[in-house]
């Protein structure tokens, strides 16, 4: 019997290098094309706002790509509100978030599965255990939580055994509260700015509290990690990071 060792098998190393190189090239392409400046509302004014179907499709394409590679989903939602208003912005932001989730999920499943399992087996095991029995409900629960990384959640789910369709449906439903919050912040609806901001903050706090409450009640002994459990169980008032 050969002794176990910690080295990375060549096949996994090659896949990991491909994964890294692809993401690096994608990031370079976004920067070179100017699409990486999505936080700049001037780009939205020039390329998206008032451009009809072509502007909507461009927003969806760019939004899906940047969400897939880890760009803050909340900023993508904000810009949807800025460009399209509350109703259409919520719809398009939800679609962009879903497409980004799908792209990241399948990229991890098809290219990075063995590498991520090799490096993060314990974390993959936790999310696999958490999602396995009821992936739709538990995906909603994960997305409701006001902590965590959208990118990491998508990658770990992609390399787990979770069924794709229920995970995607649960994700888009769980995304909805924060999507509405940040689309509302960015929207041009005829509401006094102070009221709009206050309403957005109130909705965010309400969705965060709901996420914490549901996690405590529905996890049924499962855990996504000791740090999250400590934050949710012991210090709910300090949970203030961007949700997954």
The CA distance from 189 to 177, in Å, is 18
Q: Where are the domains of the chain?
A: 14-238
More confident residue, 103 or 14: 103
What's the pTM?
Answer: 0.72
For residue 5, the model assigns a pLDDT of 40
Least confident window among 122-126, 167-171, 228-232? 228-232
Under 8 Å CB-to-CB from 79, ≥6 apart: which residues? 38, 39, 41, 44, 48, 59, 63, 186
For residue 226, the model assigns a pLDDT of 55
Residue 62, CA atoms < 13 Å, CB-side half-sphere: 25
**Could you report the per-residue pLDDT of 154-188, keeping only the tens digit for each?**
988 888 888 999 999 999 999 998 898 888 888 85
């Amino acid at each position: 019997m050969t002794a176990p060792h910690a080295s990375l098998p060549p096949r996994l190393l090659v896949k990991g290098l491909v994964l890294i190189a692809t993401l690096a090239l994608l990031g370079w392409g976004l920067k070179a094309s100017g699409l990486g400046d999505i936080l700049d509302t001037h780009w939205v004014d020039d390329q998206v706002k008032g451009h009809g179907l072509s502007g909507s499709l461009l927003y969806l394409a760019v939004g899906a790509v940047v969400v897939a590679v880890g760009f803050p989903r909340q900023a993508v939602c904000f810009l949807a509100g800025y460009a399209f208003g509350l109703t259409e912005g919520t719809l398009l932001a939800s679609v962009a978030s879903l497409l980004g989730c799908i792209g990241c999920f399948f990229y991890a499943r098809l290219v990075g599965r063995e590498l991520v399992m090799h490096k993060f087996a314990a974390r993959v095991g936790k999310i696999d255990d958490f999602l396995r029995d009821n992936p739709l409900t538990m995906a909603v629960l994960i997305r409701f939580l006001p902590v965590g990384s959208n990118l990491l959640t998508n990658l770990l789910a992609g390399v787990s055994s979770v069924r794709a369709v229920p995970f995607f449906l649960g994700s888009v439903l769980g995304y909805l509260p924060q999507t509405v919050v940040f689309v509302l912040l960015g929207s041009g609806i005829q509401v006094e700015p102070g009221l709009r901001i206050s309403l957005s903050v109130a909705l965010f706090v309400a969705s965060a509290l709901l996420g914490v409450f549901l996690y405590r009640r529905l996890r049924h002994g499962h855990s996504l990690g000791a740090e999250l459990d400590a934050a949710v169980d012991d210090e709910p008032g300090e949970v203030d990071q961007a949700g997954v």
